[in-house]
Amino acid sequence: MLLVALTLSLFGALGFAGPLFQQRDVSNTPSLEELRDKYPGIFWDEVFTNCNETQRDIIIESTRVAVNDLFPTFSNNRDRIESSGFNRFFIRPRERGIDLDWSRSVAFPEFSLIDRTFSNLVLHITQGGRDSAGRLKRAKQVKYTCREVNNAKRCGTGTAAQTHIPALDEGEGWATTFCPVFLDVYEYMLDVGNVPNRIVYDLPLLHVREHVILHELAHADVASGRNTYNHITDIKESLPGYTPNLTMYGATLSHKFAWLKSTDNPSSVNPAVGYNADNFAWVYTNEWFAQRYGWNDDGRTLSSQQSADELIPADDEFVDSDWSSRADEIENTVFPPAGNCLQLSDDPVDLYCTFMRGTEDDWLAEKDQPFVSYGGCDLS
């Protein structure tokens, strides 16, 4: 008992709130059939044909850690929206000092889209990828590959990953290319989390592969449940004190983007955050490290300026128009509430959103069809 007590005291002294030295899975690489069964939302074939063995293992392990460690960070939707991470990168409902919050402004339809999107993103890899009969369908999957789709030649620009719309992959469906920066520079989340004594202001420097997995999923409508008109992109915005027209990458810029209108009169949330991929990814990355190190901040601040050492997690997203990358047009567009979200109480933000299994168009086409088991039986 004394040894246990001393060990626990040592762990606390090192600055860990969670279990020390979490281990990654270094066992044998799963087969293609095992991956199809375990992670049906991903089209895995090219990981075995266009990636070398090391690259393949990195992509598989990053996906495994994202699914097993990052995505289960929140126990439910309310846990997520009340977190410091949500406050930092979206602003919590009824946050003090915010006059027009998600529940009291015209932004509520966007809030339901945000809630639905989170629900879809964290379930797509394990529950997506199938049609209503339970059969794997390429159009409902995101392809992982080390090959640059359509000979894009963007990996050499410092890009960590690229996500492509179906039309740019010879009509095959959504695809994500993992570049050398992701494979050689970024680290596993569990390895980064085994360094002691990190504080919340270190967050902008904690660039992990699992964050990129979630960021890229947000770009794929088949994973986010979005459509062309409400697609999640990488928004460009001009923030006070920064170079104009910056892409909203990185924890610092994503935080400032979320709080951009908090000093307006009246103060307000920024509805455009619901269309920026990195804001979605940082909510989960923030919370995982907060639980890991016992951070108890309220999420209202991060740092006064973007750190010169902050490695912005650059990606390239290929879209067929640029309207959705302009925050002013998003701000002035009113979208309908998400149709698959149920309000659980009188509180307008107390929502439960079902998994859509594809884009919004897919859901609308399939929602009146009977549920079918993987074996082909109708379910009531």
- Per-residue model confidence as pLDDT tens digits over 4-46: 333 333 334 444 554 444 555 656 789 999 999 999 999 999 9
Residues 6+ apart with CB under 8 A from 39: 63, 67, 125, 126
Residue 174's nearest CA partner among 319, 325, 355, 66 is 319
How many helices, marked H, and strands, marked E, lie in the chain? 15, 11
> Quick one: pLDDT at residue 360?
63
Helix (H, G, I), strand (E, B) or coil at 291: helix
Residues 164-190 have pLDDT tens digits of 888 665 667 899 999 999 999 999 999
Domain ranges of the chain: 35-364
Beta strands in the chain (DSSP E): 42-43, 142-145, 161-164, 174-178, 236-237, 246-247, 315-318, 341-343, 351-353, 371-372, 378-379
The CATH superfamily holding the domain 35-364 is Collagenase (Catalytic Domain) (3.40.390.10)
Quick one: pLDDT band at residue 368, thresholds 50, 70, 90?
Answer: low
- Single-letter residue type at 31: S
Q: What is the pLDDT of residues 145-158, one digit of tens each?
A: 998 876 767 787 77
